[in-house]
């Protein structure tokens, strides 16, 4: 199963959250050992403003606010 998640800093470590739905589907429980393949996600903004009538400057400002 493939899922996107954000990394979070916890103390001196970085943690990745595994959604509850994935835990249930894969029958995973705390303390179990899992194998994780890590790839940096390439998130595209293509089409996210489809049908919205705003200027390119406004789109740029919205994009910056969301992904800073």
Domain carrying residue 31: 7-67
Question: Mean pLDDT of all residues in the chain?
Answer: 82
Residue 1 within any structural domain of the chain: no
Which position has the token pair 């992904």? 67
Q: Is the pLDDT of residue 57 over 80?
A: no
Residue 41 within any structural domain of the chain: yes
pLDDT at 52: 61
Residue 18 within any structural domain of the chain: yes
Domain count across the chain: 1
pLDDT at 68: 64
Residue 34 within any structural domain of the chain: yes
Residue 2 within any structural domain of the chain: no
| pTM assigned to the model | 0.53
Residue 19 within any structural domain of the chain: yes
- Minimal CA–CA distance to 4: which of 29, 25, 22, 28? 22
- Gap between the Cα atoms of 34 and 1, Å rounded: 13
pLDDT at 56: 72
């Amino acid at each position: 199963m493939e899922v996107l998640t954000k990394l979070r800093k916890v103390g001196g470590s970085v943690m990745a959250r595994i959604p509850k739905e994935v835990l249930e589907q894969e029958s995973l429980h705390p303390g179990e050992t899992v194998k994780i393949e890590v790839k940096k996600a390439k998130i595209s903004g293509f089409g996210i403003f489809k049908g919205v009538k705003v200027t390119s400057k406004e789109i740029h400002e919205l994009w910056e606010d969301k992904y800073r």
